[in-house]
A and B are shown apart, each in its own frame.
Chain A
Amino acid sequence: MFSLNNQLELRRVTISSLITCVYLPSIVTVISYKGLLYSVGNASSFYILVLIFIAELLKSFYFKSVNDLQSKKSKPSKNKAGDVLKSFVFLLCVMFSFFVGIILFGAPVLDCHEETLMLSALLTLLTVFPLILHTGVETSMQLLFGVRQFGKDTIIEMLVNNALFTVCGAWLGAVVIPLDWNTPWQVWPIPCHLGAIGGYLISNVLNVLKVTLMSAAIKYPALNLLVSALNKLQISK
């Protein structure tokens, strides 16, 4: 549940979600306009991942910059290179565990490794990567294993929620594969790929919606009902 106490954080959440709501649909639109939508699983569409990577990086810079302005006690990062290396290794580990997990849960074992790898890369990018950028490796590990509760930090809450929506989207995407519509997109891993992107997008849209409604609810208390309904939608608890 977001709190209204920290207006600045809320603003940051809104703006970053809005950015996501703009850049992800535009990427998807451009790809589908180019007729490349059904090749998202191949390694040839690696540039999408790069684009997402850059966008998330920029978003995190945005978070960080405001953070610095506000708190003014940014820790002197002595071993920045070490941090980067550590998070890179951690990301690789996460990606590998995603890869193994996806295969354990039903992806083809012997072939389609390329597609599965792309999917796990996408999932890593959308779930763990923003968390690491924002909090660092140790905290995100603790968050992942449920040791630490994310208390009152709105941004972390948003990020975890995004991650859960992404995974759920990828998960639900698999539902359409057994249907006998014989469409070209019912091929592994396109539904899961698009499902992950869709889940991430929906989560961001919900964030924006919630913040807007919360601000509006100050004026019109009747809207509180909607806000609480939206809060119920949140998976992370």
Chain B
Amino acid sequence: MLRWLQHRWTGFCLVIMALGALILFLYGFFPLKYHSGKMAHMDDLPNFIDGISIDGQQVYNSGENTVILMVIDGLRYDFVTEEYMPYTGQLLKNKSACIHVSVAEPPTVTMPRIKSPERKKEKAQWRRTINFWRDIFAMMTGSVSTFADVALNFGAPAVRGDSVLRVAAARGRRSVLYGDETWVRLFPGLWSEYDGTTSFFVTDYTEVDNNVTRHLDKILAPDEKKKPIFDFLVLHYLGLDHIGHLEGARSDKIKPKLIEMDEVVKKIFTQMQYWDRTGVLFICGDHGMRDAGGHGGATPAEVLVPLVLAKTNEFLCPHDKGPGPTVAQVDLAPSVSWLLNVPIPGDSTGRILPALLPQDTRQHLYLLHVVAQHNAKENGLPTDTEFYKQFQRAEKQFAHYLATGQQSAAKIAKEFYEESLEIMSKYLVETTVDFDMFAIGTAICLLYFIVTSLACVTLYSLQPDTNRKLSVTQHKQTSTAGLILAFFIIYSISCFILTTACFITETNSQLCSFDSVWLLALLLIACAFTMSYFLIKSSIEKIKNLSTLKDLNAIDYLLIVGTLFHAWSFLGTSFIEEEHMTWYFFWNTLMFLVLLRTIMVVVIYLSKKLSGATEVQEKPELEQKMSTVGIGIVPKWILLIALHRYLRTMNQTGDRWLFLPDTADWLNAPENKLYLQAHLVIGTLLTLAICLYNVRHMNNFMQMHSAFTVLAILAIFCYRVTSQSLESPFTDIKTWDNVTIVNIFWGLLLAQFIFEILTYIGMFRSCGVRIPNRLSSNEFVFNKPKAKTEDYFYDPCMDEPWNIAEVKLNLARSLSHIMLNDLMLIVTLLMRPHNVIMVPSVYVTCVLTSQCMDHKLLDSRSTKRTDIVDVLSRTLVHLWIGHLFFFYQGNSNSLASVDLGSGYVGLSEYCPVRVALRMGVHAYAGPAIAGAVLFCTIAESSESWHQYLQSIWRATNIFGLQRVYAITVYSVVATIFRHHLFVWSVFSPKLLYDFVATVLTIQAIGTIAQIVWLTHITSWLARLFTNKTRL
């Protein structure tokens, strides 16, 4: 097992395993019970009850009804009394209306507070939509929504599945909406008439409601046949909630508002009585409010809401006076559907309200049967449960009643139906929102094991080289057979433990179903456990010398402690929403410490230099320290701090201060177009300069590479001109097709890469092209002999007659820089115009930071070997920079901040893979560039191929460890808070972000592995070619 520990890419494998564990966790956390998307149809109504035929459509018919749904935001249960709403109270008293208690799911997000500029309306709108999503979704589709419903169609949230409105529209019913615009967004195209009001101003609590009420007279007036001109009317009043937010439930304004609502009820109800049709009015709230104002908790005052049902035509409420029975929000959908004489929506899990059920026994039983059968057909409902059998018994009794007409059978059937329906609805709701705790637990355990073994591997790799070599030689003689045996013993033990756990917990998790696929997953999990066990075991035995860690200075400790602490800060929801604050805070502390340290070094240096050569011994050392950076480092560093202060103001992010105006708003204003273009041009040109500067690491065809880079930048400029973000004197460019431009851009990048590889292989040499011999330092050709071996020509059997290692290092350097250049160019292409400036900023920050954080410069006592601690601190600081720029760029942990526009750069039609790739690169541009710079710096600063490989090994291990550590801690946090109110709006999006970050980390480490692999392949190919030409 030692060989695993020493292997360079063990860390990589562990990160991949961690991704697998994370996927398992996500599987448990987001139940994958998608709504089936089944569309209901009238023909679905059963025509046979246990073999006895019945005319379904005729029995189902509820007559001609007109339904009005009046949603009053923030209507609390105790508001519906005679004291607050006299008319409604009167209706309830004389039993022409029924009141029910309904338990609302509390909404997730509070209202935005401050007036926002136009650019941010979209984000705010998204949050508002999610805010109402659960309630509207439950009321209109009859099913509880899951996070997958929200996450899978962010950007344009609309209900894709079946809903009351869909079936009503399919049957030609006229639906009308007056009220909040969210309804229109969720059900586009299903309204025959609507007037959506948007309100971002909580202070407005009269206008929003007047906008709704002003239509009432017109819409309620019947036509000449005394029929109303609509079938289904939705009214959504927001004013009450706004008052609640502003002043609380004890406010003086509450009472007039409720009386206003009561007037509306009176108006509707009196008008309904003139109609030649039965009118049904539902009044409900979507959530309550606290006495102190606001909502979002789970106290009864916030969760209990009334559902009032009023009906014309001699309706008498069957329930006793009092609080009324408890119903669920999902019950509205089947009730409204039945009243409109349309089928029950496909995914509905609710029941028809008992008060609505008709007196006629046949129809009553038939309706119960329809709902029960509908629910029983839902996906995943087990047929061997008691409630299903109860349903079958009820069906038999119903058939018996139909055949014989016995009232006793009808009575039994009714009882059975109700019993089975109650449990069935509960079961369906629970399975939709339930977590698979077994999978979650297993995944967390596995992640914990993986993170421990990864930490062990990282610590092992941080040992100085010499000691490890010693330990290698000591343990060379271990038998392979013994190892395999040990592996299998542990493997079977972990399999056994997992299986036992399955049976002990009696879980109904899919993981324990022992199906073919799941069995494989289980075996893989056991395998992962075994591998991490062996890794931990052997590294505990082998880690002997961690003396390098003694060289850490205060800044390194800040980096390590900050990284460790950051993962735990997510225990507070605000720290997830405002994660950028944590990073800004850490980064400022770091910059401050580095500033102090550099000032100290420079002042000491200057004072010693000015005071003359009194301390002769210290001087050369100091000179050597300063020679790499110079005195200019202090002003440079201060300028960097100023630059970061500027970048911070570029994009407001997070949640609380999202609405403050920022520099991006200012730049995007039409009158400041010039400044925006200046930003764009400066950013792109700086990128060009950096790329050209990096070209020096490439092969001796520098002018070719420069040409490629300049052409790529030109392509970017052309793209900007065609996409209207840049004005140019050449008006022709505007007419060019930007898809072609972007394709040319890709082609240029690819050509550059292939060209580089080919020159290394020596392809051009074999074609007879002479390489102009300009700079001998840039000459990376294979026929340069090794310095020591002089008689290589006479010894063809010698392993490597040429400077293979050096060439490999050079190739790795040049490939890393090509990777960095390409990445920067791609990001420059994808970024929003105002953000282009970020690209050179990341590079400058990374370079300056790695200069300043050099241990030789900062530490007073200088140890000889600092490269290991240098790698450690550099890796961590680049990770920090990556996170920092992730937030500078305007990202946050909310799905609303995903920039969809960047996904379509240079694409003419939608292609999921390409769009997703572009969006991923755009969102994670900061971390990606910072990582690329890190690996370039490592390649640049290592002196030999061996040292390069060692540094890469350490860096990738630390890179992976940070990621896996973060997801492990976060999965624990998410599990603790799985019932938290913000689980949808805060915790779950962050999980998705973490998932993407893990995938991209794997991709990053994979790229480094590919580079190393490519160098091997290339040198092999080159040996082939050069041998051939020589012989």
Contact = CB atoms under 8 A, between A and B. Distances in A.
Contacts of A175: 585
Interface string B565-593: 00000001111011001001100110110
Contacts of B581: 177-178
**Max count, chain B CB within 10 A of own CB: residue among A106, A109, A171:** A106
B641 interface: yes
A49 B38 CA distance: 71
Contacts of A105: 588, 591-592, 641, 645
B600 interface: yes
A178 B573 CA distance: 10
B572 A179 contact: yes
B575 A178 contact: yes
Interface string A122-164: 0000000000000000000000011100000000000000000
A171 B585 CA distance: 9
Nearest to B294: A182
A180 B573 contact: yes
B656 A178 contact: yes
Identify the interface centre among A103, A174, A177, A178: most chain B CB within 10 Å of its CB.
A178
B604 A109 contact: no
A171 B589 contact: yes
A147 B607 contact: yes
B573 A106 contact: no
Nearest to A181: B574
Given A104-B641, A175-B585, A146 B577 contact: no
A106 B572 CA distance: 22
Among A105, A145, A146, A147, find the residue whose CB has the most chain B CB atoms closer than 10 A: A105
Given A103-B645, A104-B641, A145 B585 contact: no
Contacts of B585: 106, 174-175
Nearest to B572: A179
Interface string A195-207: 0000000000000
A178 B589 contact: no
Interface string B599-631: 110011001000000000000000000000000
Nearest to A180: B574
A106 B648 contact: yes
A145 B608 CA distance: 13
A178 B581 CA distance: 7
A178 B655 CA distance: 10
B905 to A, nearest CB: 32
Interface residues of B, number: 26
Nearest to B588: A105
A178 B574 contact: yes
A178 B893 CA distance: 15
A178 B656 CA distance: 8
A145 B645 contact: no
B642 interface: yes
Nearest to A179: B574
B654 interface: yes
Contacts of A177: 581
Contacts of B641: 104-105
Contacts of A145: 599-600, 603
Where chain B touches its partner, the secondary structure class is helix
A87 B232 CA distance: 80
B600 A146 contact: yes
A147 B603 contact: yes
Contacts of B604: 146-147
B642 A106 contact: no
Nearest to A174: B585
Contact of A180 (B577, B589, B592, B600): B577
Does more than half of chain A's interface fall in helix, strand or loop, or is it mixed? loop
Contacts of B471: none
B210 interface: no
A92 B340 CA distance: 78
A217 to B, nearest CB: 29
Contact of B578 (A103, A106, A178): A178
Interface residues of A, number: 16
Interface string B638-661: 000110010011000011100000
Contacts of B584: 106
B645 A109 contact: yes
A90 B215 CA distance: 71
Nearest to B645: A104
Contacts of B574: 178-180
Interface in B118-167: none
A145 B603 CA distance: 7
B656 A180 contact: yes
B642 A178 contact: no
Contacts of A101: 592
B760 to A, nearest CB: 45
A145 B592 CA distance: 14
A146 B656 contact: no
A101 B592 CA distance: 9
Interface in A168-191: 171, 174-175, 177-180
Interface in B533-586: 572-575, 577-578, 581, 584-585
A177 B589 CA distance: 16
Interface in A92-113: 101, 103-106, 109
A209 B603 CA distance: 35
Contact of B603 (A104, A146, A178): A146
B899 to A, nearest CB: 23
A4 to B, nearest CB: 28
Contacts of B655: 180
A178 B607 CA distance: 42
B1023 to A, nearest CB: 55
Contacts of B591: 105
Nearest to B569: A175
A103 B599 CA distance: 20
A171 B558 CA distance: 14
Nearest to A237: B554
A109 B585 CA distance: 17
B228 to A, nearest CB: 46
B588 A178 contact: no
Contacts of B642: 104
Given A106-B588, A146-B603, A178 B645 contact: no
Contacts of B654: 178
Nearest to B573: A180
A10 B584 CA distance: 41
A175 to B, nearest CB: 7
Nearest to B584: A106
A160 B578 CA distance: 34
B860 to A, nearest CB: 10
Contacts of A174: 585
A146 B589 CA distance: 19
Contacts of A147: 603-604, 607
Nearest to B600: A146
B58 to A, nearest CB: 57
A58 B962 CA distance: 52
Nearest to A175: B585
A180 B642 CA distance: 28
B914 to A, nearest CB: 36
A180 to B, nearest CB: 4
B394 to A, nearest CB: 50
Contacts of A103: 645
A103 B604 CA distance: 28
Contacts of A179: 572, 574-575
A146 B645 CA distance: 27
B412 to A, nearest CB: 55
- By Cβ-Cβ distance, the 8 closest A-B pairs, closest first, are A178-B578, A178-B581, A146-B600, A180-B574, A105-B588, A145-B603, A179-B574, A104-B645
Interface of A: 101, 103-106, 109, 145-147, 171, 174-175, 177-180
15 contacts: A101-B592, A103-B645, A105-B645, A106-B584, A106-B645, A109-B645, A109-B649, A146-B599, A146-B600, A147-B604, A174-B585, A178-B575, A178-B581, A178-B654, A179-B572
Given A104-B642, A105-B645, A178-B654, 10 more contacts: A101-B592, A106-B648, A109-B649, A145-B599, A145-B603, A146-B603, A147-B603, A174-B585, A178-B574, A180-B573
